[in-house]
Amino acid sequence: MIRAYEEIVDFIAAGTTPSRVAHFEATPETKERVAGLIDREKTTGLSPDETSELDSFLKLEHLMRLAKARAQTFCCDE
């Protein structure tokens, strides 16, 4: 199983440019995985591993939002 946050980690690890950061968007599969985790968190609850996965994703998503805002100062909209 691939954890939702691995997509962001892979994106960072591959190296990037301000333009790519500014335009980064999670895949539909990752969005669906996170939405499912959030829904289950509110209804039936999550396992400790799923809670950790969701927490890690949300922290990285926040970091990516900050990086996207900063990247906008280095590049133009494409």
pLDDT digits (tens, 9 = 90+) for 14-25: 998 999 999 999
Asked if residue 30 lies in contact with residue 76, where contact means CB atoms within 8 angstroms, the answer is no
In a domain, 19, yes or no: yes
Other CB atoms within 10 Å distance of the CB of residue 25: 9
Q: Where on the phi/psi map is residue 25: left (φ > 0), alpha (ψ -120 to 50), or beta?
A: beta
Look at residue 77 in the predicted model and tell me its pLDDT.
52
Distance (Å, whole) CA 61 – CA 75: 20
Structural domain for 12, as ranges: 6-71
- Phi and psi at residue 60, in whole multiples of 5°? -70, -35
| Report field, pTM of the whole predicted structure over 0.85 | no
In a domain, 39, yes or no: yes
Look at residue 1 in the predicted model and tell me its pLDDT.
74
Look at residue 60 in the predicted model and tell me its pLDDT.
93
Model confidence at 72: pLDDT above 70: yes
Asked if residue 29 lies in contact with residue 57, where contact means CB atoms within 8 angstroms, the answer is no
In a domain, 20, yes or no: yes
